[in-house]
Amino acid sequence: MKQTKRKRGGQKGNQNARTHGFYSSVLTPDQISQLWSLVTKENVPPESAIMRLKLQSMINQGTASTRTLKEVVRLLVKWSAQKYHLNRAGRVYMRAILESTFQDYSGVPLCKPEKLLKAIAYLGDD
């Protein structure tokens, strides 16, 4: 019986590195119907709807990590800053609010309460 040599790296179909599914490009049938509903009925942009569904899935499964949630916050702040032309104070404030909200909802510590207060004070300086 001859064995074929395996190629270097992950093999096709390997999901060993998958921990939370945020970066997965696959949506479940239920998520697809929710996506369609968000985009058509609530006029949510597709990118935001997908991120919302992925976040919801991660938090419901209890697989949300600090690193992943911080990446989500970074992306949301970046998109919003471009769309709404936010200045630095607005971006700082939005980041603090999102981190605080995700922390409350997911239970994953993202920021200290002082950071939110500092961001609110910073927003008032403009």
**pTM for the whole structure:** 0.58
> Is 80 exceeded by the pLDDT of residue 91?
yes
47 and 93: one domain?
no
3-state helix, strand, coil split of the chain in percent (to 5) is: 65, 0, 35
What is the domain count for the chain? 2
77 and 41: one domain?
no
Residue that finishes a domain, picked among 15, 45, 63:
63
Residue that finishes a domain, picked among 63, 80, 114:
63
Q: What is the mean pLDDT of residues 22-27?
A: 65
> Is 80 exceeded by the pLDDT of residue 22?
no
Percent of the chain with pLDDT over 70: 69
Q: What is the mean pLDDT of residues 109-115?
A: 64
> Is 60 exceeded by the pLDDT of residue 126?
no
Domain that holds residue 59: 30-63
> Is 50 exceeded by the pLDDT of residue 74?
yes
Residue, of 107 and 126, whose pLDDT is higher: 107
Residue that finishes a domain, picked among 22, 43, 63:
63
56 and 73: one domain?
no
**Is 79:52 a contact under the CB 8 Å cutoff?**
no
Query: Does a structural domain hold residue 19?
Result: no
Query: Does a structural domain hold residue 1?
Result: no
Distance between CA 22 and CA 58 in Å, rounded? 7
Distance between CA 1 and CA 118 in Å, rounded? 68
71 and 109: one domain?
yes
